[in-house]
Amino acid sequence: MRKLDVFDTTLRDGEQSAGVNLHGSEKVEIALQLERFGVDIMEAGFPASSQGDFKAVQEIAARVKDCSVAGLARATKSDIDAAWEALRGAALPRLHLFIATSPIHMEYKLRKTPDEVVQTAVDCVRYAAERFPVVQWSAEDATRSDWDFLVRIIREVVDAGARVVNLPDTVGYTTPAEYARMFQYIRENVPNLAGVKLSAHCHDDLGLAVANSLAAIEAGVEQVEGTLNGIGERAGNAAIEEILVALAIRKDVYQIETRANLTETALTSKLVAKLTGMAVPANKAVVGNNAFAHESGIHQDGVLKNAETYEIIRPEMVGLKSNRMVLGKHSGRHAFKEKCEELNLQLSEQQFNRLFNSFKALTETKKEVTDDDILALLLESSIEEHKYELEFLHVSYGLNETTAALGVRGPNGEVIREAATGNGSVEAIYNVIERVVDTPIHLIDYRIQSTTGGRDSLAEVYVKVAYHDRVVTGRGVHGDVLSASAKAFLDAINRILIKERLDDEQLVTMTAQV
């Protein structure tokens, strides 16, 4: 058996998914779950890209102890300095330094000659290796790069101190056989790779990300990169859970071992789906709702006689229980605590009490509280810094004009009451909220889903809003769709205010430095 390092980039490449914008506390929550999932390295963000990401990476670095925490940097000293400041408190800090090596990226994007790219890469790796114990270097767009140029630049960055070399399929262009050949070519032609790990990082533009990653693993790479649920730029990254389950189920073929706790898969996937607002398609491998569902008679008959007739993955392997305990109005703290433990939720006493109260309130209106409901309630209560909170809501619906009246608790604890009209109920509510905060806010996207089937399901609303040049997302959960809509809009406004405060702090710091 060969050991493979798992590099998770849900919090960096995954967050680059269009429409995803995680709050710092949400990134920390995902990071702690990734640690329980047992990834070897988590890429927590891109510290130089914003003050918010810098702070999130810094907090993750301080709190995650059982795996390496990495940050991304372009080949510039200021990006490396920002990454070092954010990561220096980590138990195992790693810099992920990248520069593009394909002709099209070098000429049009970087406007550098190949010689200049080599020189920049070498200078930056050397500079980074004086600070970081591990420097991972990536040749962006490696699969559209000249292989002999890759051989040359890899030899030089390894001499300068790179300990991991990642060859990403940045635009999802390669095929399994070609990607495997590229790694073989690099192994055979770069003379100084002893002690250096090669890494695969695939995108899914042609739907080949997982197949390409597995081909690279068969070709001998020591590290694989991906994201939970395959989220990421454009069509996304390789779905890390699919790679891990394929390696486990086909151990006979791959002969690979990882540290991953596969029983944490379902929970990690749900957490990422809920916090990013990117729902997992029902038919998605490993974590889709239908992944273990049998619908047709012949299949059901087979599964009843022997599950292995149609099930190659046991649900328990990825943390799904086949039996279930019903939680509802008559459940007490013990049963609820057991459920939280079963879901592997790590809660302080205060968080547990808050969650238990939300659960009890929900049982007033919902007969059976599901795992998804509990997770939704937990995430709803995870952002403690609420500036505006919904107090009450009345909506009077009319065919061409609807009136909404709201009470919102503001930053100073006062309840602001306002009313407005709109063409529909949600528009009327959003018009009132705009009045409450006295700022025009443009709604770009609105999505709604239910946590479960049935009439008493919770509604989860995701919104994307623009305010000046900022685009933020918000999430709201409630038994009623209109209250969930109001909460999502207020959540987005709260995030704008938090970002504004962070920017003000950054301005003060920069002014102080000048």
Ligand X SMILES: CC(=O)SCCNC(=O)CCNC(=O)[C@H](O)C(C)(C)COP(=O)(O)OP(=O)(O)OC[C@H]1O[C@@H](n2cnc3c(N)ncnc32)[C@H](O)[C@@H]1OP(=O)(O)O
Residues that bind ligand KIV (CB under 6 A): 13, 72, 98, 138, 140, 166, 168, 170, 201, 203
**Among 429, 425, 388, 423, residue whose Cα is nearest residue 406:** 429
Other C-beta atoms lying within 10 Å of the C-beta of residue 402:
20
The answer to whether residue 477 forms part of the interface with ligand X (CB under 6 A) is no
CA 328 to CA 337: how far, in whole Å? 13
Q: Per this entry, what is the length of the chain?
A: 514
Nearer to ligand KIV, 98 or 462 (CB): 98
The answer to whether residue 49 forms part of the interface with ligand X (CB under 6 A) is yes
Nearer to ligand X, 13 or 460 (CB): 13
Structure token pair of residue 127: 């500079």
The answer to whether residue 98 forms part of the interface with ligand X (CB under 6 A) is yes
C-alpha torsion angle, residues 238, 242, 244, 248 (rounded to 10):
-150
Nearer to ligand X, 59 or 141 (CB): 141
Nearer to Mg ion, 65 or 109 (CB): 109
Interface segment toward ligand X; rule CB under 6 A; list 42-50, 286-294, 296-304, 395-403: 42-50
Q: Of Mg ion, ligand X, ligand KIV, none, which one sits near residue 71, judging by CB under 5 to 8 A according to partner kind? A: none
Q: Of ligand X, Mg ion, ligand KIV, none, which one sits near residue 138, judging by CB under 5 to 8 A according to partner kind? A: ligand KIV
DSSP codes, 261-322: -GGGHHHHHHHHHHHHT-PPPTT-TTTSTTTT---SHHHHHHHHH-GGGT-SS-GGGGT--S
CA 28 to CA 344: how far, in whole Å? 16
CA 208 to CA 179: how far, in whole Å? 11
Classify the C-alpha dihedral 199-225-262-56 as positive or negative: positive
Q: Residue 245 CB, nearest distance to ligand X (Å)?
A: 25
DSSP codes, 466-501: EETTEEEEEEEEESSHHHHHHHHHHHHHHHHHHHHH
The answer to whether residue 196 forms part of the interface with ligand X (CB under 6 A) is no
Q: Residue 12 CB, nearest distance to Mg ion (Å)?
A: 8
Residue of the chain from 46, 84, 127, 292 that contacts ligand X (CB under 6 A)? 46
Q: Residue 246 CB, nearest distance to ligand KIV (Å)?
A: 21
Q: Residue 490 CB, nearest distance to ligand KIV (Å)?
A: 34
Residue of the chain from 5, 8, 13, 460 that contacts Mg ion (CB under 5 A)? 13
Residue of the chain from 8, 140, 242, 460 that contacts ligand X (CB under 6 A)? 140
Q: Indicate the SS3 state at residue 108.
A: helix
Q: What is the Rg, in whole angstroms, of the alpha carbon atoms belonging to the chain?
A: 25
C-alpha torsion angle, residues 42, 43, 47, 53 (rounded to 10):
-70
Could you tell me how many residues of this chain bind Mg ion (CB under 5 A)? 1
Q: Of ligand KIV, ligand X, Mg ion, none, which one sits near residue 495, judging by CB under 5 to 8 A according to partner kind? A: none
State CA 73 to chain mean position distance.
19
String marking each residue 313-352 x if it binds ligand X according to CB under 6 A? ----------------------------------------
CA 322 to CA 489: how far, in whole Å? 37
233-272 positions binding ligand X, by CB under 6 A: 233
Residue nearest Mg ion (C-beta atom): 13
Annotated binding-site residue? 13: yes
Structure token pair of residue 37: 């999932």
For the chain, what is the largest distance between any 2 Cα atoms, rounded to a whole number of angstroms? 75
Residue 351 exposure: Cα atoms within 13 Å on the Cβ side: 15
Annotated binding-site residue? 237: yes
Residue of the chain from 11, 34, 99, 118 that contacts ligand X (CB under 6 A)? 99
CA 338 to CA 332: how far, in whole Å? 10
Q: Residue 290 CB, nearest distance to Mg ion (Å)?
A: 28
Nearer to Mg ion, 13 or 460 (CB): 13
Other C-beta atoms lying within 10 Å of the C-beta of residue 283:
10
The answer to whether residue 76 forms part of the interface with ligand X (CB under 6 A) is yes
The answer to whether residue 35 forms part of the interface with Mg ion (CB under 5 A) is no
**Among 177, 169, 161, 225, residue whose Cα is nearest residue 199:** 225
CA 279 to CA 450: how far, in whole Å? 11
CA 228 to CA 241: how far, in whole Å? 6
Q: Residue 201 CB, nearest distance to Mg ion (Å)?
A: 6
Q: Residue 168 CB, nearest distance to ligand KIV (Å)?
A: 3
Q: Of ligand KIV, ligand X, Mg ion, none, which one sits near residue 99, judging by CB under 5 to 8 A according to partner kind? A: ligand X
Strands 459-467 and 470-478: antiparallel
- Interacting residues with ligand X (CB under 6 A): 13, 16, 46, 49-50, 74-76, 98-99, 109-110, 140, 170, 233
Q: Which residues belong to the annotated binding site?
A: 13, 201, 203, 237
- Interacting residues with Mg ion (CB under 5 A): 13
Q: Which residues belong to the annotated binding site for Mn(2+)?
A: 13, 201, 203, 237
